Structure 1
Amino acid sequence: MPGIVVGLSVASIVFSGAIFGFFYAWVCSTMWGLDQADPRVAIQAMQAMNASVRNAVFFPAFFLTPVVLGLTAAAMRFYGRKSPAFWFAAAALVYLTSGLFLTLVVNVPMNEALAATVIPNDVETARKIWQDYSQRWQFWNQARTIASGVSLAFAGFGLARL
């Protein structure tokens, strides 16, 4: 098998694993921790994390995962590996529609709304703001985590079929 196919396959697994791990960490620790904090602190911390995630380190895993998966599928197809090509293409489609797109249309607007929120001094008002945000945000984060996990599994199937 040509080195480009092997290299793209490995890159696909790494990129898919990185974004799945990123979303998964929010599910099983970050949001649970913020939910236990003073809601004023949780809002402030989430505002800071959302502002800091837009960086050059995060960009490749978030935006380039479907590109790498798609290139891997194309290379597999070019070299006549139809079954692996299918799985890598499916991985790209799942992440693109249910990971990246979902983030852009649901989580990002929620984050932008929270960023514009003035943190109230009153803890009960802050609690209401945080609970409304956190419950909805976590639901959609779990959806994109599952999608990213499925995408990673599909890429793994593709690699196994190689």
Structure 2
Amino acid sequence: MIEGPYFVLVVFGALWCGLTAGVFVAFSTFVMRGLGALPAERGIAAINAINAAALNPAFLVVFLGAALLCAVIAVVTFVLWPDEGTVELLLGCVLYLAGSFGVTIIANIPRNEALAKLAGAEEAESSGAYWRTYLREWGMWNHIRGGAALAASASFVLALT
């Protein structure tokens, strides 16, 4: 059974992963759709501004905090190896660390960086073509990382029940 400080750690892990999932779901359900409705040059400028603004302590505490909590939960789970919930805990850690944090690093950030290089060239035809590709690809990866964060949160909750 999961109890004491370990219980609190898992509850915080579930909450942090769920909060991160909420941010990603917001982007998938209305932010990117709204930006996609703009002309390419305005959409590119807006998402570049959003990406720059995202590098702030509040978002980083949520996003990196969930990754740190998952890493700690994984280590503690291996050390304590509880009778119940072990599979769910480790699955939740893998889902977040690989499916949300990892996907952000290998898929979303490189696309953001490529789009940032178009700054000032937003009116070029190639920028418009890349913008349409960016919206489709970034959105797909965002769905994956949002789903992974939500599944990680659910997995932690299941481990506690």
Instruction: Please give the TM-score of this superposition, normalised by the length of structure 2.
Output: 0.86
Gaps of 5+ in 2: none
1:135-150 to 2 correspondence within 5 Å? 135-150=136-151
Q: Could you tell me whether the CA contact under 8 Å between 1:47 and 1:115 is conserved in 2? A: yes
Alignment correspondent of 2:106: 105
Look up the SS of the partner of 1:37 in the other structure.
coil
Q: Could you tell me whether the CA contact under 8 Å between 2:44 and 2:119 is conserved in 1? A: no
1:46 aligns with 2:42: no
Q: Could you tell me whether the CA contact under 8 Å between 2:11 and 2:157 is conserved in 1? A: no
State the aligned residue count.
160
Mapped to 2, the partners of 1:73 and 1:102 lie a distance apart of 19
Letter in 1 for 2:152: S
Alignment correspondent of 1:24: 25
Gaps of 5+ in 1: none
Instruction: Please give the TM-score of this superposition, normalised by the length of structure 1.
Output: 0.86
Change (3 A) 1:30 1:42: same
Alignment correspondent of 2:11: 10
Letter in 1 for 2:56: N
Alignment correspondent of 1:85: 86
Q: Could you tell me whether the CA contact under 8 Å between 1:19 and 1:61 is conserved in 2? A: yes
> How far does residue 151 in structure 1 lie from its aligned partner after superposition?
0.9
> How far does residue 79 in structure 1 lie from its aligned partner after superposition?
5.7
Between the two proteins, what is the percent identity of the paired residues? 24
Letter in 2 for 1:20: A
Q: C-alpha root-mean-square deviation of aligned residues, in Å?
A: 2.2
Which has the higher relative contact order, 1 or 2, with Cα contacts under 8 A spaced 6 or more apart? 2
